[in-house]
Structure 1
Amino acid sequence: MNKKKILVIDDEEDICCTIKQYLELHHYQVETAHSGMEALKAMNEHVDLILLDIMMEGIDGMELCTIIRDRVDCPILFVSAKAMEEDKVQALAIGGDDYITKPFSLKELKARIDSHLRREERIRSNERYLLSSKHITIDLLANEVFCKGKKLPLTKKEYEIVKLLMLNKKVVFSKERIFERVWGIDSDSQLDTVTESIKNIRKKIKAVDPDTSYIQTLYGLGYKWDVTDEKG
């Protein structure tokens, strides 16, 4: 099991050492930085969570947070002796995920860290079940399709067609193949049902996103998911 990596940024070496020793006892990997410049160098490596002091010489914690927030998407927990409400509000407004005032309990600090890392795991887990293309997103767990954030009122078969094409973007599917995969070879439905279903899918998508193509027709061959202008 890979240990979660935590970066502690504080100009007080005693605090860094205490936090490092405690968290390492609980199976975390801990790196420390005693200034903003040291912390920026440490950003070259992956970290799972950052503990950040505010009052440091040179680049203070607030400024550092604004610099690194666009470079890292991990939780940033401020740990500071500044207890004024406006400090907490500012820290959270610029990208902090939590605020812990000094002096603090190491047990509480670990509990906060555990909580944020569990939340990140849940987010990452959910992302594995989201399939996206242009403005379309499929929630594979909920069996729902969204266009520009709006849920599309697809039937079960229409949903299956969209999922089939999006999961196989480079594959051209004939009407017969779509029919077999979605309806099954023993279905009593007619082959023209595929054409009608795709027409309905396009209509429902265009009601939300009229300017983007999603299902491409290759005449004489079948249908393919259109990846034109798709990011990545």
Structure 2
Amino acid sequence: MAGAKARETRMRMLVVDDEVEIADMLAEYFRMEGYDVATANDGAAALEAVSASRGGRGAFDIILLDVNMTNMDGFEVCRRIREHLSCPIIFLTARVEDVDQIDGFAAGADDYVLKPFSLEVLGRRVAAHMAREGRARRQEQAVRFFRGLTIDYGSRTVEVAGSPVDLTKLEFDLVALLSKRPGQVFDREAIYERVWGWDAAGDPSQVREHVRRIRNKLAAAGLDEDPIETVWGVGYRWTAK
């Protein structure tokens, strides 16, 4: 059943739709499936809910997000959420044009579900994403290999061709953040907030210096290809596979 796993762990879901009836219908369905569901009826309320979720009850595990909302559409809401959360985001939309899909995935969406939709089908799509997230979270404690580079997230070690690379705590945290989401672009502000902490006293420009040090250490250890790509004017992404 779609909600079996959710009932065991009480996964948190945010439903965002400016049609109150739809938001309430989805909330009722997924609560019956075992999810802890919050709702928002516009972009501002969604961002406020995401901000609040980083405290007490914990961050959301998945977000269902309507595209066609007034004032702030789903694309903009998604882009702003992606500055803080990496959980799956599923767009609920009647738009089917290719350009909308490109815009959606560029904004950071993980999937599209077209309206009108079957609640059972949507439930299965949500369950599939949560299953993938569960596997990804389990893998975070595993070892990953990238072109001669070995990262052990459990022991917090990095090796190049079997030789250890001496990274500081912040340097390893930065490598872990990027390498767990290969291909995803992180801007410097987002990296600084996630690695240094929300309340850190400093400047996001420190990220550039730490990336430089990581590159130098990996190159000195014999890594031929830089796994961190600079996205000019934005930030960085992990490109090694």
Shift of 1:121: 0.7
Structure 2: 5+ residue stretches without partners: 1-7, 54-58, 168-218, 225-241
Residue 75 (structure 2) aligns with: 62
Tell me, what secondary structure is at the counterpart of 2:75? Answer: helix
For residues 14 and 37 of structure 1, the distance between their equivalents in structure 2, rounded to whole angstroms, comes to 19
Of 131, 144, 151, which aligns to 1:137? 151
For residues 118 and 92 of structure 1, the distance between their equivalents in structure 2, rounded to whole angstroms, comes to 20
Residue 111 (structure 1) aligns with: 124
Residue correspondence of structure 1 range 144-163 to structure 2 within 5 A: 146-147=159-160, 152=161, 154=162
For residues 90 and 26 of structure 2, the distance between their equivalents in structure 1, rounded to whole angstroms, comes to 13
Residue correspondence of structure 1 range 165-180 to structure 2 within 5 A: none
1:9/1:16 contact within 8 Å kept: yes
Residue correspondence of structure 1 range 1-232 to structure 2 within 5 A: 1-44=8-51, 45=53, 46-130=59-143, 137-138=151-152, 146-147=159-160, 152=161, 154=162, 206-208=221-223
Normalising by structure 2, we get a TM-score of: 0.58
Tell me, what secondary structure is at the counterpart of 1:103? Answer: coil
Give every structure 1 segment of 4 or more consecutive aligned residues whose post-TM-superposition deviation is greater than 6 Å: none
Change (3 A) 1:99 1:131: closer
Structure 1: 5+ residue stretches without partners: 167-203, 210-232
Largest Rg, 1 or 2: 1
Shift of 1:131: 8.6
Tell me, what secondary structure is at the counterpart of 1:71? Answer: coil
For residues 88 and 35 of structure 1, the distance between their equivalents in structure 2, rounded to whole angstroms, comes to 21
User: What is the aligned residue count?
Assistant: 156
State the superposition RMSD in angstroms. 3.0
For residues 145 and 63 of structure 1, the distance between their equivalents in structure 2, rounded to whole angstroms, comes to 36
For residues 85 and 51 of structure 1, the distance between their equivalents in structure 2, rounded to whole angstroms, comes to 20
Shift of 1:67: 1.1
Shift of 1:66: 1.1
